[in-house]
Every structure is written in structure tokens, then in C-alpha cells.
């Protein structure tokens, strides 16, 4: 009798353990997903400063992106987060060890183009060269495929997406629906063939848009960057929760220079551009840390891993 009871107890424990595993798997499956993305460019390469700092002057400027990106890597390691880094080819060519460090720590390496020229201002031939060159460069550094692309200043249209596909990318993450910034490009309404926040542009290209809030016909920028630094955190957090309730996923972006208080001041820049660039730099990391803490019940993943979870990558289709 005692032996029978012992067997029942053992069997019961096994059943409970199996049930717990199934429950954990279901919980993971239905968790909200956060995609943290980083546009790896330096303080002198931003679009707002182009009237004051030419491409020819880049080599004369202090490179601060390496230190700032390593600080982000340390922050992500402590937070146990994997992110997607969209890296400029110009940076990768000069600091290949940084690209290798990003990859070796389990983050995704993706392309941000080579020299931060807006896609919509480049002839097709030049843009195609930029897309191919940056992708090949990154792949040669990490000896691993590069699947994703983000256009400088989100400057895309349908023709750009077609070129991105032709150059061998699996996904683009450039569409920002906030229409008040004239640099941001526009694409046709996403197809009905949508999984999560991923829209299928064609048979082999997906779009992962920046997360914004839509109320009626109005769009409010909620994906990160300067908007994250400007909007009070309690309000920003409520907006993220609103997006998660609707989409079950949230895509956030930032730049390494946004955590750099000691970066040079571009004195010639207009007051508006200075405000947009330098506002609340001292609060970026602490705000991000608090935001991540408030989202600790969510799963954090890279862009490719997100597509993989939706069975939208070549090895899952």
C-alpha cells in the first residue's frame, strides 16, 4: 500500500511537472513582445546636423559611438535583453570589433546603410550599391547573415522596399507612420496578410514598423528617440501599454548618442535642432531602465527572432 502510494505520488509529480511545462510554454507564446532596436550612428552623423557638418568632415570628428554602444551593451546584459542593432557601414568599417562584440553577445546585427544618406534622395543605382555594400560589409565582419535594414530617418517608399528585397534582405524596419516629420517616407497601406506587427510587403520581404499611437485619424509618435526623451515617462508608459493591448508587440528605437552627455555641442545648429538633439540626454538610460522594469512580464526579442516566432523566416516556413 505504501509502495502504491509512493508510485502515485511520483506519477502525480511528473504530471504536475508536465502540466507546468505546458503552461510555461503557453505563457511564453502569449506574452507581449518588446523589440528594442538601436540605430548605431554617431553624434555628427544625424540628419539635423547635416547643414553644419558635411560628410567630408566626418573623419575630423571625435568618434564617441564605440564607448556609448558598449555602455548600451552592458546595460542590456544587466537587463538580460537581446536587441537589434542597425549599424552604419561607415562605423562598421572603422570599428569592426564593435560589430563583432554586438554579435558575440547574442544581439542581432542589421544594416543602417553605409553613410546615412536618405534613401529618397539617392538615385536607384546609388541606393542599391549602398544596400548591398553595407550588408556585405557587416556579413564579412560577423561571418553570419544580415537579415534586416533600417533606412536613415525612416526615408522609404514602395520603390525603396522593392530594392531592399532585391538586395537580399528578409525584413525592413523603416516605416514610421508619424506624418509631421517630412523626412519620413510613406508606403502603401500594409496588406491584410499581417501577423503580429509584421506586414508582408511581398513573397519574401516583411515590414516591422516603428510603434506609434493612433487615435482616430491622428498619429502620435511613440516609438522612441527624441519623443521618448521628451514625453514624461508615466504618460509614455501608458502609451506603450495601450499599444501592447492592441498589437501584443511594441517596437522601440534609440541611438547611442542619446546617452552621451559629454558629446560636442554643434553651436551653429538652430535652436530647434539643438533642442531636439540635446533635450533630456541625462535621463535616457534611467527612463529606459524604468520602462523595461515596468515591462518585465513581457518577452524581449530581436527583430529576426520575432519573425521566427511568427514562422516568417526561411527556416520556419
Instruction: Give the integer Cα–Cα distance in Å for 290 and 233.
Output: 8
Q: Which pLDDT band, with edges at 50, 70 and 90, does 14 fall under?
A: low
Q: So what's the pLDDT on residue 25?
A: 45
In the chain, the domains with their CATH numbers are 32-309 (3.20.20.370)
Instruction: Give the integer Cα–Cα distance in Å for 183 and 266.
Output: 21
Judged against a pLDDT cut of 70, whether residue 3 lies above it is answered with no
Q: So what's the pLDDT on residue 232?
A: 97
In this structure, of 7-11, 48-52, 297-301, the range with the lowest mean pLDDT score is 7-11
C-alpha cell at 163: 530594392
Q: Which pLDDT band, with edges at 50, 70 and 90, does 215 fall under?
A: confident
The pTM for the full model equals: 0.89
Q: So what's the pLDDT on residue 61?
A: 97
Specify the higher pLDDT residue, 190 or 217: 217
Judged against a pLDDT cut of 50, whether residue 42 lies above it is answered with yes
Q: Phi and psi of 68, rounded to 5°? A: -65, -40
- Closest to 116 in 3D by CA, of 223, 303, 288, 257: 257
**What string of DSSP letters covers 144-182?**
S---EE--GGG---HHHHHHHHHTT-SEE------TTST
Judged against a pLDDT cut of 60, whether residue 112 lies above it is answered with yes
Instruction: Give the integer Cα–Cα distance in Å for 40 and 257.
Output: 9
Q: So what's the pLDDT on residue 315?
A: 75
In this structure, of 84-88, 100-104, 190-194, the range with the lowest mean pLDDT score is 190-194
HSE-up (13 A, CA, CB side) for residue 12? 6
The average pLDDT across 252-262 equals: 98
* pLDDT tens figures, 126-156: 999 999 999 999 999 999 999 999 999 999 9
Beta carbons of 196 and 249 less than 8 angstroms apart: yes
Amino acid at each position: 500500500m505504501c509502495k502504491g502510494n509512493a508510485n502515485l505520488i511520483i506519477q502525480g509529480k511528473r504530471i504536475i511537472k508536465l502540466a507546468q511545462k505546458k503552461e510555461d510554454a503557453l505563457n511564453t507564446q502569449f506574452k507581449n513582445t518588446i523589440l528594442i532596436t538601436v540605430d548605431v550612428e554617431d553624434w555628427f552623423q544625424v540628419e539635423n546636423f547635416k547643414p553644419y557638418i558635411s560628410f567630408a568632415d566626418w573623419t575630423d570628428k571625435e568618434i564617441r559611438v564605440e564607448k556609448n554602444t558598449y555602455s548600451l551593451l552592458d546595460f542590456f546584459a544587466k537587463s538580460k535583453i537581446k536587441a537589434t542593432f542597425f549599424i552604419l557601414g561607415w562605423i562598421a568599417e572603422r570599428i569592426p570589433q564593435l560589430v563583432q562584440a554586438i554579435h558575440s553577445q547574442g544581439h542581432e546585427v542589421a544594416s543602417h546603410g553605409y553613410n546615412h544618406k536618405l534613401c529618397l534622395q539617392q538615385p536607384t543605382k546609388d541606393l542599391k550599391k549602398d544596400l548591398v555594400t553595407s550588408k556585405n560589409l557587416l556579413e564579412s565582419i560577423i561571418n553570419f547573415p544580415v537579415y534586416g535594414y533600417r533606412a536613415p530617418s525612416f526615408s522609404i517608399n514602395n520603390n525603396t522596399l522593392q530594392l531592399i528585397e532585391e538586395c537580399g534582405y528578409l525584413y525592413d524596419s523603416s516605416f514610421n507612420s508619424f506624418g509631421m516629420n517630412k523626412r519620413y517616407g510613406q508606403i502603401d497601406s500594409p496588406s491584410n496578410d499581417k501577423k503580429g506587427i509584421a506586414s508582408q510587403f511581398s513573397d519574401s520581404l516583411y515590414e516591422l514598423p516603428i510603434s506609434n499611437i493612433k487615435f482616430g485619424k491622428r498619429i502620435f509618435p511613440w516609438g522612441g528617440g527624441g519623443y521618448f526623451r521628451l514625453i514624461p515617462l508615466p504618460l509614455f508608459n501608458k502609451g506603450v501599454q495601450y499599444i501592447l493591448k492592441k498589437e501584443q508587440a511594441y517596437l522601440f528605437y534609440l541611438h547611442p548618442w542619446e546617452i552621451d552627455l559629454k558629446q560636442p555641442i554643434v553651436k551653429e545648429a538652430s535652436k530647434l535642432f539643438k533642442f531636439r538633439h540635446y533635450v533630456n540626454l541625462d535621463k535616457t538610460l534611467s527612463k529606459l531602465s524604468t520602462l523595461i522594469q515596468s515591462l518585465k512580464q513581457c518577452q524581449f526579442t530581436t527583430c529576426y527572432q520575432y519573425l521566427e516566432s511568427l514562422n516568417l523566416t526561411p527556416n520556419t516556413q
